[in-house]
Amino acid sequence: MLGTIVNTVAIIIGSLLGIGIKKGIKDDYKNTIMDGIGLAVMVIGIMGGIKSENIILVIGSIVVGGIVGEIVGIENKLDNLGNFLQSKFRGKDSNFSKGFVTASLVYCVGAMAIVGSLESGIQSNHETLFAKSILDGISAIIFASTLGIGVAFSSIPVFIYQGSITLLANSVKGLLTPQVVNEMSAVGGLLIMAIGINILGIKKIKVGNMLPSVFIPIIYYILVNLVNLIR
């Protein structure tokens, strides 16, 4: 759990630094910065998505995972949690929920969050999460300087999400072949690209409802292995 704890602390510290410089940034500059972040996030997502060696699986994962997410209502739950925290801690910050949800998704759906948490749980190797902590801390400064204190609270779902993967890693390590991890990362790349589209205001995509998509490749390869055994 050390890697996840460091990652959580880095997001909080970065957010606090970003909030500290928020008042010194003009609105026009904030808008330009957010546009730049949106473009960068889209590029990162595209780079992850094109790594797929089974694009049909990626498409199927997005469809099936999106349906599951819609049934569960993940996006609404994230929004409600953001609104609840806003009412409790910073009611006047109109961007609280947006900052909370956007940052939570950016920090959770990437390949580093999944692979790093698995390495941390299986091998006690925290290097990937340490590297992610640096990147998240820097991006938290930028996010918080435009979106406010809500970004700091994204550390809560990050801790829960990555911590859960770390704790469960040993029980599923036999399923996590390089092929499976690669397709999970590709699906995560598409979701990151969707976050970039949201940041740019091109279209509102319910990325939260697509989170289960990241884990569909595991289920797919389990089924494939079962079919092969039966044959």
Dump pLDDT digits (tens) for 178-220: 888 889 888 988 988 888 898 888 988 888 899 899 889 989 9
Which band of pLDDT confidence, cut at 50, 70 and 90, is reported for residue 24? low
State percent of the chain over pLDDT 90. 23
Torsion of CA 25, 29, 35, 38, to 10 degrees: -20
- Which pTM does this prediction carry? 0.78
User: Both tokens of residue 75?
Assistant: 């996006």
In 3D space, the residue among 183, 158, 45, 182 whose CA is nearest the CA of residue 107 turns out to be: 158
116-131 burial, b for 16+ CB within 10 Å, e for fewer? bbbbbbeeeebebbbe
Instruction: Identify the pLDDT of residue 189.
Output: 85
* pLDDT tens digits along 52-72: 899 999 999 999 999 999 999
Stretch 6-14: mean pLDDT, rounded? Answer: 95
Which band of pLDDT confidence, cut at 50, 70 and 90, is reported for residue 155? very high
CA distance 33 to 143: 9
